[in-house]
Each structure stands twice: as C-alpha cells, then as structure tokens.
Amino acid sequence: YVDNSIVFVVRQDSDIQTKEDLAGKIVITQAGSSALAALTNTEDNDENLALAATFASLEQTPDYNSAFMSLETGAVDAIAVDIGVAQYQLTNHSDKFRKLEEPLSTEQYAIAFKLGNEELRDQVQATLDEMVADGTFDAIAANYADYNLDQMVCLGKE
C-alpha cells in the first residue's frame, strides 16, 4: 500500500551526482535502519554490497538528525536514508541538501491477512479505496511530515 525508497542525500554544493560518485566517500546511515540493511545484507544483495565496498567508510549514527548535522558540517559526504525522512529534510532545508536521482533500493509495504480471509481483505481494500477517492488518505498522510506524499501510493490488492 505504500511504495518506499532508500535514497542518498548529499550537500547542495556537493560534486556527487550518482551512486558511483560515492566511491572513496564517507557515507552515514542510522543504526538498525533499512538503509543499513540495504548496504550490508549479504543475502541476494551483490550490487549494493559492491557499492558499499567502494565507500571510504560506512558510518552508523543513533538517529538521522545526527546524520544530517554531520552532513551539514561536512563530516560525512552522504546519507543513506528512507525517502520520507529525506523528503522532510529536503522540504525544510532545500538550500542545504539534495538527493541523488537513483535510489539505493525500493520496497513496498503491505497489509497482511490470514490466508483465506478474503472478507476482511475486501473490507479493508474498500475502505482504503474510499479514503483515496474522498481525499482522506492524503489528509492523513499530510499529518506525517516524515513522509513524501508522492511516495505514499495506495497500490491496491494484488
């Protein structure tokens, strides 16, 4: 129901334009985050592991606020971060930061139901469809500043 991406954010004045430009650079992310997993998970992740191996170092911080402060001061060259958190910072600090065009990875979030419980699945889907149609979905999403409404997409049942 929600399409999410992990992206790289750099300083506005950085010469880094692509993921390949991160070679030899210091990249930071939040400890325990999906961005860290995307860069370190050894299962079926050869492309991202190869990318991370080019970094001068991959640093971890307890929270993204510290990561953005480190980026702003020039202590690190880039942040690997969920698009929602990135978009919040970009909206509020567009003069300081920008994101690279190509995401590190993308992921979709869903709602799971007990296998065979099609009645509940259909009720939830109908409610979500109504919420999208009448604007409630966007109104609720707008309350969460950490999310980019362009990335919050009601994908529907598959």
Q: For residue range 51-78, list pLDDT tens digits in order.
A: 999 999 999 999 999 999 999 999 999 9
Please name each of the domains of the chain with its CATH number: 2-105 (3.40.190.10)
* H-only helix segments in the chain: 34-40, 46-54, 64-73, 83-92, 118-134, 136-142
Output 88 or 108, whichever has higher pLDDT: 88
pTM for the whole thing? Answer: 0.74
Q: How confident is the model at residue 136 (pLDDT cuts 50, 70, 90)?
A: confident
